[in-house]
């Protein structure tokens, strides 16, 4: 399998990560508005039957989830298309300032500084893909070299354009008005961390036995410590029982710990343990380590009385477009997967600006 040589035009399209794109946003009302309080906002009726209104909240959850995903897809198409146009305009303006064509600009500023891949790089690529190439190295060495160089040029051009974008933002020459869609997302006051009056709300749907949720936990902790008093964090259960059989039991155990005022201590302990350490005996040991009343805790876990509440969390997540864990809603902006700290910070900073608050110092 030889390295693919990107087809180059005079302008390279830059695919921005979500966080970098949101960093530049100037806030305007989004297509869907996240709730300001802890209850879903009223929506305009979609139909009337015998004088009784039918609104968005009555649409079946499966259809709501499909609509959320479609809105996100529409946003992504717009975002990528907008990024292409911005790249083209910034490159054209930079070329005009230097009295060059765009092709000449890229050749002088980018392509001409990219060195040829070394023999070691070519050999390393060949060794990694030898089973797919099916030819001796000498027969394909130069083709591999050219393909690797094209990849280097492609990356260098993206880096160059990112620099143009950041400078344009810093100089005030680039203002991006496109906003991601938002969904109305409530939190459970019994599982809320931080100042209830904080201007930004993060709600996470997670699974105590999900390895990706464990990976995300330090990032979430770092984010909350960076914004004291400005961000509140709500947790909701989304156990994936098909692949994590102990997930629901762990979620129930966390609610039982909450009965004794130790919800967050137990939550943190579950995420500090290995994901596979969530069987009943381990959950009881965790409760003992927090000095919970063992009789009350065991009785609560065995009763299954929190199953309905956990199922309600799952229904809410599914209706909001959640497909896996972890999933985050930052003031209703949906981010799926274990996001980087930078990505989460960009969205929080954007929402703080909308609420009239300053960003924290880097």
pTM listed for this prediction: 0.65
pLDDT at 4: 58
CATH code of the domain containing 234: 3.40.30.10
Which residue do the tokens 């040829």 mark? 116
pLDDT higher than threshold 70 for residue 43: no
Q: Number of structural domains, the chain?
A: 2
Are residues 73 and 32 part of one domain? yes
- For residue 73, what pLDDT band results from cuts at 50, 70 and 90? confident
pLDDT at 116: 95
pLDDT for 252-292, tens place per residue? 999 999 999 999 999 999 999 998 888 999 999 999 999 99
Which residue do the tokens 């023999």 mark? 119
pLDDT higher than threshold 60 for residue 32: no
Encode 81-93: b = buried (16+ Cβ within 10 Å), e = exposed: eebeebbbebbee
Alpha helices, DSSP H only, in 171-259? 211-226, 247-259
Which residues are CB-neighbours of 157 under 8 A, at least 6 positions away? 12, 106, 110, 111
Give the DSSP per-residue string, 296-362.
HHHHHHHHTTTHHHHHHHHHHHHHTT--SSSEEEETTEEEESS--HHHHHHHHHHHHHHTT-PPPP-
Are residues 255 and 119 part of one domain? no
If DSSP codes are grouped into helix, strand and coil, which group holds residue 239? coil
Closest CA to 254 of 209, 320, 196: 209
Which residues are CB-neighbours of 243 under 8 A, at least 6 positions away? none
Are residues 99 and 137 part of one domain? yes
pLDDT for 334-345, tens place per residue? 998 999 999 999
pLDDT for 83-115, tens place per residue? 999 999 999 999 999 999 999 999 999 999 999
pLDDT at 141: 93
Are residues 251 and 163 part of one domain? no
- Give how far Cα 297 sits from Cα of 79, 253, 275, 300, Å: 49, 8, 21, 5
Token pair, residue 342, equals 């930078």
pLDDT higher than threshold 60 for residue 35: no
Give the C-alpha separation, 171 to 177, whole Å. Answer: 16
pLDDT at 361: 45
- Does 305 map to a domain? yes
Range of the domain at 309: 189-354
Are residues 341 and 197 part of one domain? yes
- Does 283 map to a domain? yes
Are residues 347 and 200 part of one domain? yes
Give the C-alpha separation, 320 to 56, whole Å. Answer: 12
pLDDT at 360: 56
């Amino acid at each position: 399998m030889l390295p693919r040589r990107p087809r180059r035009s005079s302008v390279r399209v830059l695919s921005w990560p979500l966080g970098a794109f949101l960093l530049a946003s100037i806030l305007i009302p989004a297509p869907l508005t996240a709730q300001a309080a802890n209850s879903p906002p009223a929506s305009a009726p979609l139909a009337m039957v015998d004088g009784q209104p039918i609104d968005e909240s009555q649409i079946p959850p499966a259809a709501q989830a499909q609509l959320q995903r479609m809105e996100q897809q529409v946003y992504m198409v717009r975002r990528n298309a907008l990024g292409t146009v911005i790249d083209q305009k910034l490159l054209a303006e930079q070329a005009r300032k230097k009295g060059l064509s765009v092709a000449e600009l890229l050749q002088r500023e980018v392509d001409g500084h990219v060195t040829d891949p070394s023999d070691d790089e070519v050999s390393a690529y060949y060794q990694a893909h030898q089973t797919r190439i099916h030819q001796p190295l000498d027969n394909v060495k130069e083709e591999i070299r050219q393909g690797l160089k094209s990849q280097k040029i492609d990356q260098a051009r993206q880096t160059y354009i990112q620099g143009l974008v950041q400078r344009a933002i810093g100089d005030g020459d680039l203002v991006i008005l496109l906003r991601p869609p938002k969904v109305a997302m409530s939190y459970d006051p019994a599982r809320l961390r931080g100042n209830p009056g904080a201007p930004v709300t993060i709600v996470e749907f997670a699974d105590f036995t999900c390895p990706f949720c464990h990976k995300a936990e330090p990032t979430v902790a770092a984010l909350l410590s960076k914004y004291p008093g400005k961000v509140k964090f709500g947790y909701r259960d989304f156990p994936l029982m098909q692949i994590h059989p102990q997930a629901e039991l762990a979620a129930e155990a966390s609610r039982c710990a909450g009965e004794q005022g130790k919800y967050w201590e137990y939550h943190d302990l579950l995420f500090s343990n290995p994901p596979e350490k969530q069987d009943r005996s381990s959950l009881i040991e965790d409760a003992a380590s927090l000095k919970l009343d063992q009789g009350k805790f065991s009785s609560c876990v065995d009763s299954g009385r929190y199953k309905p509440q956990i199922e309600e969390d799952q229904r809410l997540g599914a209706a909001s477009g959640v497909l896996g864990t972890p999933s985050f809603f930052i003031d209703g902006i949906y981010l799926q997967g274990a996001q980087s700290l930078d990505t989460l910070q960009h969205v929080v900073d954007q929402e703080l600006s909308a609420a009239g608050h300053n960003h924290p110092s880097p």
